[in-house]
Amino acid sequence: MKIPNPRKCVLKLLLTSFFALGLSNQIWAESVSSTPYYANSELRIPRIDIEGFGSLDLSLALHDLDNLTFSLSSAVDASSDAMPSASFDLVTLVLTIPEIKVDANYYSLSMQLIPGDLFQLTLAEDIAVPGLVAYQSLCVTCHGNDGLGGTSNQSLFDCSQCANINMLSEYIAANMPLAGSANCVDECAVDTANYIINEINIGNNSIPTQDP
C-alpha cells in the first residue's frame, strides 16, 4: 500500500484552504506583469506552477518582521498571460523566487515553509536585471522610473511601438534616446525593450514575448 507523503498532504491542505477562501471572496487574478513584487507588506507571485495544483497566483502577507515570516493570504487561478516566476519544491518545502521587485531594486529569494504554515525568508541576494541600468541612465529623464512619464511627461503605456520586444528594440536602436540614438543598439536595445515590456509592464498590462 502506498503511504501518502505527509508534506504533500500539508501543502495540499494549505493551498486548498486558501484557494477556497479566494473563490468564496471572489478574489480573481488579474492580467499583470509576471515579475513578483513586494509592496505594502505583501509579497505577490503572479504565477507559480505546482504539480497537482496547476498555475496559481499567490499573495503572501508579512507575518513577523523580526523573523521575516509570511503567511499565505490568497491563492487563485493565475492569469493565462502571466509566465511562471517562482517554484516550490514539494520535498524540501522551499519556495524559490529568482527575481522579485522591491521598490526600484531586484532580489533573488528563497523561503522555507515552516510549522505554523509560514514561509520564512532564508536567502535574499541582489540581482542585476538586464536593461535596468540602460533604462535608468538613458530613459528615466523622459519616461520616469515607472514609465508614466518623467520631466517631459512621455508615458510608455500603450505606446505604438510596444506591441512586442522585437518591434520596441528596433525602435530604440533607431531612435532612442532622442539626444543620441546610437547610444543603445543591439543587446542594449533588446534588454531595454524587455525591461520596459516585462518589468515596467507597459501596454495595458500585457506581456508580449520576443519572436523566435
Residue located via cell numbers 503567511: 71
- Among 40, 70, 77, 47, which Cα is nearest to 198's? 47
Which H or E element spans position 107? strand 105-114
Asked if residue 117 and residue 36 are part of one domain, the reply reads: yes
Which of 109, 126, 143 marks a domain boundary? 126
In degrees and rounded to multiples of 5, residue 209 shows phi and psi of -120, 155
* Confidence at residue 55, expressed as pLDDT on a 0 to 100 scale: 93
Find, among 53, 51, 45, 109, the residue nearest to 79 by Cα.
45
Same domain, 96 and 176: no
- If asked whether residues 113 and 183 sit together in one domain, one would say no
Do residues 30 and 116 both lie within one domain?
A: yes
Query: Can you give the pLDDT at residue 38?
Result: 93
For residues 87 and 184, membership in a common domain is answered with no
CB of 29 within 8 A of CB of 78? yes
| Domain total of the chain | 2
Same domain assignment for residues 158 and 104 = no
| Whole-number pLDDT of residue 161 | 84
Residue 209 lies in a domain: no
Q: Are residues 15 and 100 in the same domain?
A: yes
Residue 136 in any domain: the answer is yes
Q: What DSSP element (H or E) covers 9?
A: helix 6-24
Question: C-alpha angle 128/109/14, rounded to 5°?
Answer: 150
Alpha-carbon distance of 99 to 74, in angstroms, equals: 20
Do 136 and 120 share a domain, yes or no?
no
Position 201 scores a pLDDT of: 65
Helix H or strand E encompassing 191: helix 187-194
For residue 17, the model assigns a pLDDT of: 45
Predicted pLDDT of residue 41 = 94
42, 105 Cβ separation under 8 angstroms: no
**Is-contact 58 48, C-beta < 8 A?**
yes
- My answer on whether 112 and 137 are in the same domain is no
Mean pLDDT, consecutive 10-residue segments, the chain of 212 residues?
A: 42 47 38 77 94 91 96 91 90 94 88 95 89 87 85 79 86 86 86 83 42 35
Q: Where is the domain boundary, 93, 126, 159?
A: 126
Q: What pLDDT does residue 98 have?
A: 92
The residue range of the domain holding 194 is 132-200
The pLDDT value recorded for residue 127 is 87
Q: What is the largest CA-CA distance in the chain?
A: 72
Residue 89, SS3?
Answer: coil
Strand 69-77 to strand 118-126: parallel, antiparallel, or no bridges (unpaired)?
antiparallel
Does 186 lie in the same domain as 114? no
Asked whether residue 78 is assigned to any structural domain, the reply reads yes
Q: Are residues 80 and 177 in the same domain?
A: no
Predicted confidence at residue 2, as pLDDT, reads 38
Are residues 154 and 62 located together in one domain of the fold? no
Q: Residue 155 in contact with residue 142, Cβ under 8 Å?
A: no
Give the end of a domain, one of 97, 126, 155: 126
Q: Is residue 112 part of a domain?
A: yes
Question: What kind and span of H or E run contains 64?
Answer: strand 54-64
CA distances from 81 to 1, 33, 73 (A): 41, 9, 22
Q: Indicate which CATH number applies to the domain containing 196.
A: 1.10.760.10
